[in-house]
Amino acid sequence: MLKSQYFFSRFAKNKENFHQFINGLYQAEGTMGAYFPKENSLSIRFIFSIGQTYSLEALNVFLNLQKVLNLGKIRLEFNSNNQPHIRYIVTNTKDLIFKVLPYFSLLYGQKRKDRIILLKIYELSLEIMASLKEEVKLNNTLTCEFIHLIYSINPDGKKRKLSLSDKLQLFNCGSITYKGNLETIENDSLPSKLFIIGLFLGDGNFGFVFDAPPIRSPKFYIKLVFNFAAQSNTNSNIELLKLVAKKMNLKPQIYIRKSGMIGLQYTGETVFKYIMPFLAEYQD
């Protein structure tokens, strides 16, 4: 598959365009969460991150984001194959809660839910820290909710020092039933073109595949394939894919990848007649 990068530079010229675009890119490639740096403590740290394979275009996007928000760090990393990866990171709690989260307000599905959960985690952390400071006995139900919410965002994260059950037992919450009734309101508005392009650049591909069923042997054909928007397989993310397809005047052809993630996939004439013209406005 061939991944296009030629859209990046244009969005820095207009703040609202960039706002739409970077929210779409985060929807595809961003993570946010909180974690316990110590096993026997309820003190937490927050993290917000967007990553991309290194390119000058990606670097320019993250530099522009850093300029718009006036915060955050840009880090160059290398994976196990020694391939460069660039990441925009925010770890300062107040910057993340009061500046970053309001800016990333256009999200959908699980990413939108994670944003709401993180705000709730911050509120609970203030209550817990106030109780500890005043040496007041912690409310076990509140502590239980706090731990569950933290583990609900990126539950398999690398920074987990204890399993959820072990953490709950450590703070005498193992026997408490957690209902998980945090209310969230879905975003049902149609995404903008720029949001969709950000989503595509984060996890989209144009490519060509050999279409050679046995009935045609020895003939074969080359088929153009377009796929993007890998999301976890949840009802809210399925609704996001439907909204994306609707914005592009397409039927939502949703497929499930081998990884279990879901996405949209189109082939052949649909790519030429609908998708390429949709993206062409921003190709320069």
Number of domains in the chain: 2
pLDDT-derived band at 234, boundaries 50, 70, 90 = confident
User: Does 179 fall in a domain?
Assistant: no
206: pLDDT strictly greater than 50:
no
12: pLDDT strictly greater than 60:
no
Please state, in angstroms and rounded to a whole number, the distance separating the CA atoms of residues 123 and 116: 11
User: Does 180 fall in a domain?
Assistant: no
Q: Are residues 217 and 156 part of one domain?
A: no
Q: Are residues 262 and 124 part of one domain?
A: no
User: Does 186 fall in a domain?
Assistant: no
The reported pLDDT for the residue numbered 71 is: 96
Q: How far is CA 179 from CA 47, 76, 128, 164, 188, in A?
A: 26, 40, 20, 15, 25
75: pLDDT strictly greater than 90:
yes
Q: Are residues 223 and 165 part of one domain?
A: no
**DSSP per position, 177-210:** PP----------SPPPHHHHHHHHHHHEEEEEEE
Rounded percentage of the chain residues whose pLDDT exceeds 70:
82
Q: Are residues 112 and 28 part of one domain?
A: yes
Beta bridge partners of 267: 225
Contacts of 142 (CB under 8 A, 6+ apart): 124, 127, 128
Q: Are residues 207 and 119 part of one domain?
A: no
Read off the tokens for 146.
């706090």
Q: What is the mean pLDDT of residues 82-104?
A: 96
Q: What is the CATH number of the domain that holds 106?
A: 3.10.28.10
What b/e sequence results for 19-57 when a residue is b if at least 16 CB atoms lie within 10 Å of its CB, and e otherwise?
bbbbbbbbbbbbbbbbbbeeeeebebebbbbbbbebeee
User: Does 246 fall in a domain?
Assistant: yes
Give the pLDDT confidence of 137-147 residue by residue, as tens digits: 888 999 999 99
User: Does 177 fall in a domain?
Assistant: no
What range defines the domain where residue 61 resides? 8-170
**pTM for the whole structure:** 0.83
Lowest mean pLDDT among 18-32, 76-90, 173-187: 173-187
264 closest CA partner among 194, 180, 197, 200: 200
204 vs 100: which has the higher pLDDT: 100
**DSSP per position, 15-63:** HHHHHHHHHHHHHHHEEEEEE-SSTT----EEEEEEEEE--HHHHHHHH
- Report the residue count for the chain: 284
Rg (CA), the chain: 21
User: Does 72 fall in a domain?
Assistant: yes
